[in-house]
Amino acid sequence: MRYGHFDDEAREYVITTPRTPYPWINYLGSEEFFSLLSHTGGGYSFYRDAKMRRLTRYRYNNIPSDEGGRYFYVHDGGDVWTPGWLPVKAELDHYEARHGLGYSRITGERGGLRVETLFFVPLGETAEVQHVTLTNTSDAEKTVSLFSFVEFCLWNAQDDQTNYQRNLSLAEVEVEQDGPHGSAIFHKTEYRERRDHYAVYGVNTRAAGFDTDRDAFVGPFNGLGEADVPRTGRATGSIASGWYPIGSHQVDVTLAPGESRSLTYVLGYVENPHDEKWAPADEAAGVPAMQRVNRERAHALLSRFATTEQTLAAFEALRTSWTDLLSTYSVTSTDEKLDRMVNIWNQYQCMVTFNMSRSASYFETGIGRGMGFRDSNQDLLGFVHLVPERARQRIIDIASTQFPDGSAYHQYQPLTKRGNNDIGSGFNDDPLWLILGVAAYLKETGDWGILDEPVPFDNEPGSEVPLFEHLTRSFDFTVDNRGPHGLPLIGRADWNDCLNLNCFSTEPGESFQTTENQAGGVAESVFIAAMFVHIGPEYAELAERRGLTDVAERARTEIEAMRAAVLEHGWDGEWFLRAYDFYGNPVGTDAKPEGKIWIEPQGFAVMAGIGVDPQDPAAPGSPAVRALDSVREHLATPHGMVLQHPAYTSYQIELGEVSTYPPGYKENGGIFCHNNPWVIIGETVLGRGERAFDYYRRITPAYREDISDVHRLEPYVYAQMIAGKEAVRHGEAKNSWLTGTAAWNFVAVSQYLLGVRPEHDGLVVDPQIGPDVPSFTVTRVARGARYEITVTNGGAPGARGRLVVDGAAVEGSTVPYAPAGTTVRVEVTV
Ligand code: GLC
Ligand code: GLC
């Protein structure tokens, strides 16, 4: 069952009923100002940091779950309704929400009035624009009142929902009905003291009335769906003083039959230099010193959206910027679902993970996590081709939080860019991801200078060393921290945050990630070993290209030793082991009744080439083939591959959080989508493209659209998890949007299935997608040149393409980089 459809031409998903199984959201903004917006208008806005600079309030664990957002109430001759359906829930004659790239358009119609609202964050602005168009679709003249509504948050989103003894006495606003560009409400709580920022909510007309006090607008005993002011049809002119500040404008509109009128609302963040915080005292105008906010910057903001033409021009600029961004990689094939994921939605989601990391979604509150060290490095794999300059800065920011011994803070805070002491370090996979991120950046850009960039440790001024030295420390960290089998020590956890082999927690509420009750030098990770064998060669390659031959050689020796250790101590018989626990017992072995086989080491080891027969990768019998065949046998389901099997049915103190989830959910036998692409890529390494593409389709949302009633989350973006085969709700997704799944699936589909990937000396073209996509064209812009790659694909197992570049046959699968500005035509026959 579906709740809408894709509109690929417009690059939108069109939701045709407000009754989706869960709020289906979108993100506005990609610079400093961000909004989360659900298909009914729910959500909130913030400036840079979802915890510290929250403009509007959002309630967690709410009933219904998504009530609170920016709403427009219509009062039409006593009939009160909201065009996004919520919160009033009056039946609509027509409803539609279109989520596009950085914007959404929500339309509702009732009783002969159509209200369409376009929401977006314009480029270069710290504001959300709400462009409302009212159309009289009846054959009689209509006079209606429109009441806008936002509820202000007192900036620190955590404090805002806990510290009422202080907060309920703080709120302050100013209202300007006859401003230079219409009416405006200024939310200035705490501006009288240390804050140098306020929020403004303006509309580009003189409003007939306003409210800024929530109880006056809603009524103390009402929910938002029964708000008083829209019902009575008269704003009260309330001025918030303490309690709960809101912003609402009443605009009265008279429309002839068929007539439309547009209004532009702007919700903005305004920051003033400290010595310009206040408007000068002006006795004649009744403005005392240090009482009225300096409105100049707010007026300047509103002036840029004073007319519909200005607003629509800003919207066009946003559309164009997305067209440009997405032109770096696109495919045209016979499979429209593949095309829409690759060309639009997967890349879009990668940009959202770049902006948000794991901070703010409908599953992450925006007050908890900072930027993850490993998460951000992996996210980079999905956006480096889109915004290479910003990826460069991100790399420097991440590396600056590393410690001198190569270990890393697990998270850092986006505003301060400093490591997060509450979580600390000890996640022993973290350092290696930095190498992977930097290598991806170099392959994309060829910007070798970044390796000489001075980068501090732990943000300590004076500690700067060239970035390359950080990579050496990352590499050495793994080398220096090995256990009894020569495999890397796991520390608090590796990629799997919930495999906590040194934790041994008996205290409810104790963090599995930060507790090490029995830290010993024994518990080892086969997964980190596989990472080392996969990522280590990237480091050796960089060393080589810097002329450090001995460094490269030493690195390769270490890598081979690790490969040997995995094959000797990391192999269970039919698949790779997952780990050794605190006592030195194997984890992920057939010898145990539960958690026999885990997905992560299988995918990553094969990606790394461990146990792959170089002569004939697909030939039966090699460890790699057996491992991935075991994955198929034990882990694959129609909804994707589960993380391990069988799931744990009881708490295993020596394993930690992984066994806390009921079977089939999250890291305990859930389909944790992030690691599925490792198996997909692994299958392409074995030349089994058909199987790889089959796996790809099982978790990719566009292919799951028809079962939206089962999947339940947005059919246009990946979710972190789909409930596994032992779960009560097998196939149901959770945690959409902010997941490493986005980047890794983009890598899997663009670089391995379609097979176009940047390497240091050129673009490799090596499609491994099987026979289901018989032909396709990829357009890839790399280092300023454009590659038009046409593939005729027989799809035979293991077949490698023959390349003709600009008319001449070439050996191998690398197309050398061409000068910027040129176009290269590549024909490939597989
Ligand atoms: C979450 C975390 C990520 C971790 C994964 C598996 O997605 O953000 O860091 O690797 O869970 O536990
Ligand atoms: C990771 C895991 C999640 C766990 C969290 C704790 O994100 O995926 O299951 O609750 O870490 O920090």
User: Is there a contact between 643 and 669 (Cβ–Cβ < 8 Å)?
Assistant: yes
Share of the chain above pLDDT 70, in %: 100
Q: Whose CA is nearest to atom 9 of ligand 1?
A: 375
Tell me what pLDDT residue 12 has.
Answer: 98
- Helical packing angle, 549-569 and 526-545, nearest 10°: 160
Going by their DSSP bridges, the two strands 103-110 and 113-120 should be labelled as antiparallel
Other C-beta atoms within 10 Å of 393: how many? Answer: 10
Q: Whose CA is nearest to atom 8 of ligand 1?
A: 375
Q: Which is it for the CA torsion 340, 344, 347, 352, positive or negative?
A: negative
Which ligand gives the minimal distance to the CA of 357? 1
**pLDDT above 90 for 520:** no
Confidence of residue 414 (pLDDT cuts 50, 70, 90): confident
Rg (CA), the chain: 28
Decide: 375 in ligand 1 pocket, CB within 6 A: yes
Whole-angstrom CA distances from 507 to 512, 515, 650, 657 are 10, 10, 16, 12
**pLDDT above 80 for 369:** no
CA-to-CA distance for 707 and 705, rounded, in angstroms? 5
Residue with tokens 């036998």: 669
Q: Which atom number of ligand 1 is nearest to the Cα of residue 369?
A: 8
Average pLDDT of the segment spanning 68-80: 98
Mutation pick for ligand 2 pocket among 657, 665, 674, 720 (CB with most ligand atoms within 8 Å): 657
Going by their DSSP bridges, the two strands 411-412 and 371-372 should be labelled as antiparallel
- 496 CA distance to ligand 1 middle (Å): 6
Decide: 666 in ligand 2 pocket, CB within 6 A: yes
Which ligand gives the minimal distance to the CA of 658? 2
User: Is there a contact between 170 and 288 (Cβ–Cβ < 8 Å)?
Assistant: no
Give residues with Cβ within 8 angstroms of 316, minimum separation 6: none
Going by their DSSP bridges, the two strands 197-203 and 94-99 should be labelled as unpaired
Tell me what pLDDT residue 35 has.
Answer: 98
Angle at 11 (CA atoms; ends 9, 17), nearest 5 degrees: 105
Q: Which atom number of ligand 1 is nearest to the Cα of residue 498?
A: 12
User: Is there a contact between 548 and 539 (Cβ–Cβ < 8 Å)?
Assistant: no
Tell me what pLDDT residue 335 has.
Answer: 98
- 282 CA distance to ligand 1 middle (Å): 56
User: Is there a contact between 326 and 308 (Cβ–Cβ < 8 Å)?
Assistant: no
Residue with tokens 């951000």: 376
- 797 CA distance to ligand 1 middle (Å): 33
Closest CA to 619 of 630, 633, 605, 629: 629
- 512 CA distance to ligand 2 middle (Å): 9
User: Is there a contact between 228 and 270 (Cβ–Cβ < 8 Å)?
Assistant: no
**pLDDT above 80 for 50:** yes
**pLDDT above 80 for 612:** yes
Give residues with Cβ within 8 angstroms of 230, minimum separation 6: 73, 74, 75, 80, 88, 145, 147
Query: Quick one: DSSP state of residue 208?
Result: S
Q: Is 141 helix (H, G, I), strand (E, B) or coil?
A: coil
Residue 646, preceding peptide bond in cis (omega within 30° of 0): yes
Q: Is 27 helix (H, G, I), strand (E, B) or coil?
A: strand
Decide: 353 in ligand 1 pocket, CB within 6 A: no
- 428 CA distance to ligand 2 middle (Å): 16
Other C-beta atoms within 10 Å of 64: how many? Answer: 13
Whole-angstrom CA distances from 40 to 82, 95, 359 are 9, 10, 22
CA-to-CA distance for 370 and 392, rounded, in angstroms? 19
Average pLDDT, the chain: 97
Decide: 218 in ligand 1 pocket, CB within 6 A: no
Decide: 370 in ligand 1 pocket, CB within 6 A: no
Can you read off the two tokens belonging to residue 287? 């403005």
**pLDDT above 80 for 448:** yes
Interval 148-158: pLDDT, tens: 999 999 999 99
Please, which residues bridge with residue 571 across strands?
576
Whole-angstrom CA distances from 46 to 35, 257, 301, 610 are 6, 39, 17, 46
Which ligand gives the minimal distance to the CA of 495? 1
CA-to-CA distance for 235 and 244, rounded, in angstroms? 17
Q: Which atom number of ligand 2 is nearest to the Cα of residue 720?
A: 8
CA-to-CA distance for 254 and 251, rounded, in angstroms? 10
Tell me what pLDDT residue 529 has.
Answer: 99
Tell me what pLDDT residue 310 has.
Answer: 98
- 435 CA distance to ligand 1 middle (Å): 18
Q: Which atom number of ligand 2 is nearest to the Cα of residue 667?
A: 9
- 350 CA distance to ligand 2 middle (Å): 20
Which ligand gives the minimal distance to the CA of 499? 1
CA-to-CA distance for 44 and 66, rounded, in angstroms? 11
Can you read off the two tokens belonging to residue 820? 């910027």
Q: Whose CA is nearest to atom 1 of ligand 2?
A: 497
User: Is there a contact between 205 and 192 (Cβ–Cβ < 8 Å)?
Assistant: no
Q: Which atom number of ligand 1 is nearest to the Cα of residue 372?
A: 9
Report H helices in 608-688: 623-634, 676-685
CA-to-CA distance for 297 and 285, rounded, in angstroms? 20
Tell me what pLDDT residue 483 has.
Answer: 98
Half-sphere exposure for 115 (CA within 13 Å, toward CB) = 27
Mutation pick for ligand 1 pocket among 356, 358, 375, 721 (CB with most ligand atoms within 8 Å): 375
* One-letter identity of residue 256: A
Other C-beta atoms within 10 Å of 666: how many? Answer: 23
Tell me what pLDDT residue 27 has.
Answer: 98
Whole-angstrom CA distances from 53 to 153, 155, 157, 173 are 9, 5, 8, 17
Dihedrals φ, ψ of 586, to 5°?
Answer: -70, 145
Task: Round to the nearest angstrom and report the end-to-end CA distance of the chain.
Answer: 37
- 527 CA distance to ligand 2 middle (Å): 18
Q: Which atom number of ligand 1 is nearest to the Cα of residue 374?
A: 9
Residue 64, preceding peptide bond in cis (omega within 30° of 0): yes
Can you read off the two tokens belonging to residue 191? 């501006």
Catalytically active residues, by annotation:
497
Residue 87, preceding peptide bond in cis (omega within 30° of 0): yes
Q: Whose CA is nearest to atom 12 of ligand 2?
A: 513
* One-letter identity of residue 628: L
Which ligand gives the minimal distance to the CA of 373? 1
* One-letter identity of residue 258: G
Interval 772-805: pLDDT, tens: 999 999 999 999 999 999 999 999 998 999 999 9
Interval 157-211: pLDDT, tens: 999 999 999 999 999 999 999 999 999 999 999 999 999 999 999 999 999 999 9
Which ligand gives the minimal distance to the CA of 656? 2
Angle at 414 (CA atoms; ends 409, 417), nearest 5 degrees: 55
Q: Which atom number of ligand 1 is nearest to the Cα of residue 375?
A: 9
Decide: 674 in ligand 2 pocket, CB within 6 A: no
Tell me what pLDDT residue 3 has.
Answer: 98
- 419 CA distance to ligand 1 middle (Å): 18
CA-to-CA distance for 525 and 580, rounded, in angstroms? 7
Tell me what pLDDT residue 416 has.
Answer: 84
* One-letter identity of residue 566: V
Average pLDDT of the segment spanning 76-100: 98
CA-to-CA distance for 497 and 428, rounded, in angstroms? 11
Q: Which atom number of ligand 2 is nearest to the Cα of residue 498?
A: 2
Longest Cα–Cα distance of the chain, Å, equals 91
Q: Whose CA is nearest to atom 6 of ligand 1?
A: 496
Decide: 297 in ligand 2 pocket, CB within 6 A: no
Give residues with Cβ within 8 angstroms of 469, minimum separation 6: none
Decide: 497 in ligand 2 pocket, CB within 6 A: yes
User: Is there a contact between 683 and 669 (Cβ–Cβ < 8 Å)?
Assistant: no
- 497 CA distance to ligand 2 middle (Å): 6
Q: Which atom number of ligand 1 is nearest to the Cα of residue 496?
A: 12
- 740 CA distance to ligand 2 middle (Å): 13
Tell me what pLDDT residue 598 has.
Answer: 99
CA-to-CA distance for 384 and 392, rounded, in angstroms? 8
Decide: 513 in ligand 2 pocket, CB within 6 A: yes
